[in-house]
Amino acid sequence: MDPANLTRVSEFLLLGLSEEPELQPVLYGLFLSMYLITVLGNLLIILAIGSDSHLHTPMYFFLSNLSLADICITSTTIPKMLMNIQTQSKVITYAECLTQMYFFTLFGGWDHFLLTVMAYDRFVAICHPLQYMVIMNPQLCVLLVLVFWILSALDSLLQCLMVLHLSFCPDLEIPHFFCELNQMNQLACSDNFLNNIVMYFATVLLGGGPLVGILYSYSKIVSSIRAIPSAQGKYKAFSTCASHLSVVSLFYGTSLGVYLSSAGTHSSQPSATASVMYTVVTPMLNPFIYSLKNRDIKGALRRLIRVSGKLGTIILNQKM
């Protein structure tokens, strides 16, 4: 490529999920509804866990962090998409694009790590129940969250610094609804070999590593459950990790679906549509999965609603 045709861009065009004008109001209403449900559902989980002392355990500590990560990851992508639909503009500045890519990579990596440590928490609870509170002590839980946060932040920073060294061709259309790292690398007209190597290495290390950890934890869990003599004991042990297993299956199932769909087609548009599953749908469904299958969460939510109702009544009476 002639260096004269390379440029330091100031903005990109996000093509979104569809360029059909008649579909834009539908997409706007659909994604606004999904975003509000995601934020409200995960916020309720965080408030329920924080307000109920019985839920101040390692499992629910990690769950509240997962809910926070889900709120953040959807807030990184959907508001910009909604604003572009509302203003009928596809423009995103270079700085906004890098910022969006950084935070999406950050919270996406944090999601992977949290799901892994939650699997380890269930492994300790089922395989070493007598040592659970000793192993999963509060200091270790906080340390794990901080370490994973730092690792995700460093990975995001490295990826963004690598993109800063790329130059782009005049065709600045991104066939996606947000600035995704792989799309940015594909748009580059300068040599992106090193960028791809770093991206794939980070994906294998920070994406495949947590998956291996989850699979190992559940292999041990299954072995321990099979050794339980009674069917009731097996059911009780499995029920403690059913919600997490459902979330893991949904998250990695949709992620692999996106990878396979993008690998099997030359167009990025199907990949953008498929990525809605793990970037939008999965964070929206997580609160329902945990609240529907967990009696403790349902009880805490009912108590939270009752307290909120009482506070609202008191405030109204004072105003009157």
Task: Output the pTM of the full model.
Answer: 0.89
Question: Which among 69, 58, 125, 54 has a CA at the least distance from the CA of 295?
Answer: 54
**Of all residues in the chain, what percent carry a pLDDT higher than 90?**
50
Q: What is the mean pLDDT of residues 275-298?
A: 85
With a cut of 90, say whether residue 186 has pLDDT above it: no
With a cut of 70, say whether residue 260 has pLDDT above it: no
What secondary structure does DSSP assign to 252-318, as a single string?
Answer: HHHHHHHHHHHHT-S-SHHHHHHHHIIIIIHHHHHHHHHHHS-HHHHHHHHHHHHHHHHHHHHHHHH
Task: Report the pLDDT value the prediction gives residue 178, as an integer from 0 to 100.
Answer: 92
With a cut of 70, say whether residue 269 has pLDDT above it: no
Average pLDDT in the chain: 86
d(CA 145, CA 143): 5
With a cut of 70, say whether residue 259 has pLDDT above it: no
Confidence grade of residue 42 (pLDDT, cut at 50, 70, 90) = very high
The answer to which of 16-20, 97-101, 250-254, 255-259 has the lowest mean pLDDT is 255-259
With a cut of 70, say whether residue 3 has pLDDT above it: no
Task: Report the pLDDT value the prediction gives residue 258, as an integer from 0 to 100.
Answer: 64
**Of all residues in the chain, what percent carry a pLDDT higher than 70?**
89
Domain ranges of the chain: 3-319
Q: How would you classify the pairing of strands 11-14 and 91-93?
A: antiparallel
Confidence grade of residue 1 (pLDDT, cut at 50, 70, 90) = very low
Question: Which among 111, 107, 41 has a CA at the least distance from the CA of 75?
Answer: 107
Confidence grade of residue 207 (pLDDT, cut at 50, 70, 90) = confident
Task: Report the pLDDT value the prediction gives residue 304, as an integer from 0 to 100.
Answer: 81
Task: Report the pLDDT value the prediction gives residue 136, as an integer from 0 to 100.
Answer: 95
With a cut of 80, say whether residue 5 has pLDDT above it: no
Domain covering 3-319 in this structure, CATH number: 1.20.1070.10
